[in-house]
Chains A and B, each alone.
Chain A
Amino acid sequence: MSDLSGTATGAGTGDGRPVALIASRMRFEEKLLLEAFRRRGAAVEVIDDRTLSYRVGDPAPAWRVVCNRSLAGTRRLEVSRMYESFGLPVVNSAATVAVCDDKIHSTLVLHAAGLPVPATAVALTPAAGEEAVRRVGLPAVVKPVNGSWGRGLCKVNDADAVEGVLALKESLPSPRQQLVYAQEFVRTPQRDIRVVVAGDRAVTAVHRTGEHWIGNVARGARTSRCPLTPELEDLALRAARAVGGGLLGVDLLESEDGRLLVNEVNSGVEFRGAAVGDEATALAIADAFAGHVLSRALPDGTPPGVIHGGELLRTGVPSPRTPPAAPPPLATAAAGTVPSQESDNP
Chain B
Amino acid sequence: MSLDTLTERAACPDCGAGVDLAADTGVTEIVVCPGCTAELEVVAVGPLTLALAPEIEEDWGE
Contact = CB atoms under 8 A, between A and B. Distances in A.
B61 A48 contact: no
Interface residues of A, number: 33
A80 interface: no
Contacts of A151: 58, 61
Interface residues of B, number: 26
* Majority-rule SS of B interface residues: loop
A71 B60 contact: yes
Interface of B: 1-6, 8, 21, 23-30, 44-46, 48, 57-62
B28 to A, nearest CB: 5
A24 B61 contact: no
Contacts of A267: 62
Given A23-B28, A26-B26, A31-B24, A1 B59 contact: no
A177 to B, nearest CB: 9
B45 A73 contact: no
B60 A3 contact: no
B3 to A, nearest CB: 5
A218 B61 contact: yes
A1 B60 contact: no
Contacts of B62: 148-149, 249, 266-270
14 contacts: A1-B2, A2-B1, A3-B2, A5-B1, A25-B29, A26-B28, A71-B60, A71-B61, A73-B59, A148-B59, A148-B61, A267-B62, A268-B61, A269-B62
A8 interface: yes
B5 to A, nearest CB: 7
B59 A72 contact: yes
- What DSSP secondary structure best describes chain A's contact surface? loop
B46 A3 contact: yes
A15 to B, nearest CB: 20
Given A24-B28, A249-B62, A268-B62, A1 B57 contact: no
A324 interface: no
A261 interface: no
